[in-house]
């Protein structure tokens, strides 16, 4: 909220210089700021990928429990207050995913089914990008439940075509892209991949004090590690 008051202070000074009536103008401006904070203050969107088979995890990892929520629900929740909408791309066990996200009411959810999910993750990325209307957006796998909300807020403030969180010199998730990158993704062939496309854009790595950006769930051992870390954080 300090961020919004700093903007308001700047706006007040501008009003004073112009000799504009402060009460009406600045009150209206503050209402707009508060509305932005409630619905996603940066007007961003996010793509959450939840279409894979989870073959290495030995179970459908998106719906594995973590506390009172599923892995997928935790991942989606990180975008509350920053993004105006989250696009969830499903494939395998699509009905189960749709039922799970139907319980989320704290942020707008757009459910998308990728009928070609068996072709790999890039097909789901393209499917999600078809739905993006914002000028900037996040992409993350649905099995990254431990990212801090503060990390998402930090990334939202950074301006570059490709923004990547970094912890201990390793890049993680979520990444933030512009619609210039979106256009390149949609123009690429089905046999392409995100890594290759991003090589054509300037990248900004942002150091964050958040090991959660590196913690995803591929194996049963990863799941145990995620549970342990989660329980440590809530104690």
- Is residue 100 within 8 Å of 71, Cβ to Cβ? no
* Whole-number pLDDT of residue 73: 97
Q: Which of 7-16, 111-120, 144-153 has the lowest mean pLDDT?
A: 7-16
Higher pLDDT, 31 or 233: 233
For CA atoms 65, 66, 68, 73, the dihedral sign is negative
* Whole-number pLDDT of residue 234: 82
For CA atoms 46, 55, 211, 71, the dihedral sign is positive
Q: Is the pLDDT of residue 161 over 70?
A: yes
Q: How confident is the prediction for the chain on average, in pLDDT?
A: 86
Distance CA 36, CA 1 (A): 11
What would the two tokens of residue 102 be?
């139907």
Buried b (16+ CB within 10 A) or exposed e, 152-161: bebbbeeebb
Sorted by sequence, the CB contacts under 8 Å of residue 169 that are 6+ apart come out as none
What residues pair up with 45 in beta bridges, in sequence order? 85, 137
Closest by CA position to 49, among listed 198, 225, 216, 206: 216
Q: Is 231 exposed, middle or buried (0-12, 13-18, 19+ CB in 10 A)?
A: exposed
Tens-digit pLDDT profile for residues 42-86: 589 999 999 987 756 568 999 999 999 999 999 999 999 999 999
Q: Is the pLDDT of residue 37 over 70?
A: no
Antiparallel, parallel or unpaired: β 136-141 and 44-50: parallel
* Whole-number pLDDT of residue 53: 79
Residue 14's pLDDT band, with cuts at 50, 70 and 90, is very low
Q: Is the pLDDT of residue 30 over 70?
A: no
Sorted by sequence, the CB contacts under 8 Å of residue 168 that are 6+ apart come out as 211, 214
Q: Is the pLDDT of residue 152 over 90?
A: yes
Average pLDDT over residues 219-226: 95
The fourth-level CATH superfamily of domain 44-234 is Spore Coat Polysaccharide Biosynthesis Protein SpsA; Chain A (3.90.550.10)
Residue 147's pLDDT band, with cuts at 50, 70 and 90, is very high
Tens-digit pLDDT profile for residues 201-220: 999 999 999 999 999 999 99
Higher pLDDT, 146 or 218: 146
Task: Write down the domain spans for the chain.
Answer: 2-39, 44-234
Tens-digit pLDDT profile for residues 93-138: 999 999 999 989 999 999 999 999 999 999 999 999 999 999 999 9
What's the 3-state SS for the chain?
A: CHHHHHHHHHHHHHHHHHCCCHHHHHHHHHHHHHHHHHHCCCCEEEEEEECCCCCCCCCCHHHCEECCEEHHHHHHHCCCCCEEEEEEEEECEHHHHHHHHCCCCCCEEEEEECCCHHHCHHHHHHHHHCCCCCCEEEEEECCCCCCCHHHHHHHHHCCCCEEEEEECCEECCCEEEEHHHHHHHHHCCCCCCHHHHHCCCCEEEEECCCHHHHCCCCCHHHHHHHHHHHHHHHC
State the residue for tokens 């308001």.
8
């Amino acid at each position: 909220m300090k961020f919004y008051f700093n903007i308001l202070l700047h706006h007040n000074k501008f009003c004073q210089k112009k000799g504009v009536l402060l009460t009406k103008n600045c009150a209206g401006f503050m209402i707009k700021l508060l509305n932005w904070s409630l619905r996603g203050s940066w007007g961003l969107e996010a793509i959450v990928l939840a279409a894979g088979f989870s073959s290495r995890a030995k179970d459908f990892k998106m719906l594995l429990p973590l506390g009172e929520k599923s892995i997928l629900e935790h991942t989606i929740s990180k975008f509350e207050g920053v993004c105006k909408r989250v696009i969830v791309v499903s494939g395998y066990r699509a009905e189960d995913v749709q039922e799970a996200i139907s319980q989320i009411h704290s942020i707008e959810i757009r459910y998308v089914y990728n009928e070609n999910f068996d072709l790999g993750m890039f097909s789901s990325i393209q499917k999600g990008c078809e739905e993006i209307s914002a000028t900037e957006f996040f992409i993350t796998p649905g099995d990254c439940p431990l990212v801090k909300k503060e990390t998402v807020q930090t990334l939202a403030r950074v301006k570059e075509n490709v923004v990547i969180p970094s912890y201990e010199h390793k890049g993680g998730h979520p990444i933030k892209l512009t619609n210039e990158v979106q256009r390149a993704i949609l123009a690429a062939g089905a046999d392409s991949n995100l890594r290759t496309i991003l090589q054509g854009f300037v990248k900004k790595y942002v150091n964050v004090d958040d090991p959660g950006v590196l913690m995803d769930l591929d194996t049963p051992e990863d799941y145990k590690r995620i549970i342990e870390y989660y329980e440590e954080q809530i104690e």
